[in-house]
Amino acid sequence: MAYQFDWELVVSGQYGDWIVDGLITTLQISGISIGLSLVLGTMACIMRLSKLKPLEWIAWTYIEFFRNTPLLVQIFFWYFGSYTVLPDSVNAWLNTVNQEFACGVIALTFYTGAFIAEDLRSGIFAIPKTQLEASRACGLSFMQAMGYVILPQAFRIIIPPLISQFLNLIKNSSLVMTIGVADLTYMARQIEAHAFHGLEAFTVATLIYLSISLVVSFSIQQYNMRVLRAAR
């Protein structure tokens, strides 16, 4: 039996609404995780460079462990495994919010934060060491020198890799469907199960992911070109 394509079905009516709901969830979970992973990544990077052995060691372990294990296993760990070791207050809080969504955010944040920390570290290394020495000599503390002198320059350098990390995060957010967050991929899968029109649903979902990626990378190219022209 040949496959009958029915595009109307997946872009309108109930299934169309599902796709839109899924997209909104994907954007929400990605947006929150992007903000949090930026904070976590910056903190981990500063700890790694702080010259305080215990802090350095904690940050190193965090970065290496989370970069070298699959995100899917991390998601399962946070969702199934973490409650036995987390404090009761955290577990109680997780029960009051949408637990799947919260675990998805935590997993994406920790995973991407480790990558951002490494990107930021290479950005900081690209800045001449004398910058830090000069600011320390002017009487700024390590944290002040980082916050006012080093980090603003480093972030400007790492904008392109940072954006591709964010794009990776949006793509990786598709994995949260495994713990039941109703994101775009989950909805496409759902339409497949309900209406047996998986190909159309996956096409639409793929096109949405693709256009997010293309729009963002195109804007970055434009931005880069403008910055390069301005620098010239």
Partner 1 sequence: MHWDVVWNNFDYFLWGAYPKGPLGGLAMSILMALGGIFGAFWLGLLIGVCRLSKRVWLRAPAMVYIEIIRGTPLLMVIFWFYFLAPVIMGKSLPDWQSAIIALIVFTSAYIAEIVRAGVLSLPKGQMEAARGSGLSHAQTMIHIILPQALFNMIPSFVNQFVSLTKDTSLAYIIGVSELTKTATQVNSRTMKAPFEIFITVAALYFVVCFVLTELSRRLETKINRYQARGR
User: Is there a contact between 67 and 118 (Cβ–Cβ < 8 Å)?
Assistant: yes
Binding of residue 205 to partner 1 (CB under 8 A) = yes
**18 near partner 1 (CB under 8 A):** no
CB 29 within 8 A of CB 101: yes
Q: Does 171 bind partner 1 (CB under 8 A)?
A: yes
Does position 76 bind partner 1 by CB under 8 A?
Answer: yes
Q: How far is the CB of 36 from partner 1 (least distance, A)?
A: 20
Per CB under 8 A, 172 contacts partner 1: yes
Could you tell me which residues come within 8 angstroms of residue 15 by beta carbon, excluding any fewer than 6 positions away? 9, 191, 194, 195, 201
DSSP assignment, residue 151? Answer: H
Q: How far apart are CA 139 and CA 72, in angstroms?
A: 46
Nearer residue to partner 1 within complex by CB, 72 or 157:
72
Cβ(63)–Cβ(117) below 8 Å: yes
Determine, following the binding rule CB under 8 A, whether residue 199 of this chain makes contact with partner 1. Answer: yes
Helix axes 159-172, 198-231, angle to 10 degrees: 170
Which lies closer to partner 1 via its Cβ, residue 76 or residue 142?
76
Query: Contact between 4 and partner 1 (CB under 8 A)?
Result: no
Q: Does 72 bind partner 1 (CB under 8 A)?
A: yes
- Minimum distance of partner 1 from residue 210's CB (angstroms): 4
Q: Does 206 bind partner 1 (CB under 8 A)?
A: yes
Residues in the chain: 232
- 48 belongs to the binding site for partner 1 (CB under 8 A): no
Long-range (24+ apart) CB contacts under 8 A made by 18-21 are: 18/187, 18/190, 18/191, 19/184, 19/187, 19/188, 19/191, 19/201, 19/204, 19/205, 19/208, 21/182, 21/187
Interface with partner 1 (CB under 8 A), residue from 64, 128, 141, 219 = 64
Q: Per rule CB under 8 A, is residue 213 in the interface with partner 1?
A: yes
Contact footprint for partner 1 (CB under 8 A): 3, 64-65, 67-74, 76-77, 80-82, 84-85, 167, 171-172, 174-175, 177-178, 185, 188-189, 192, 198-199, 202, 205-206, 209-210, 212-214, 217
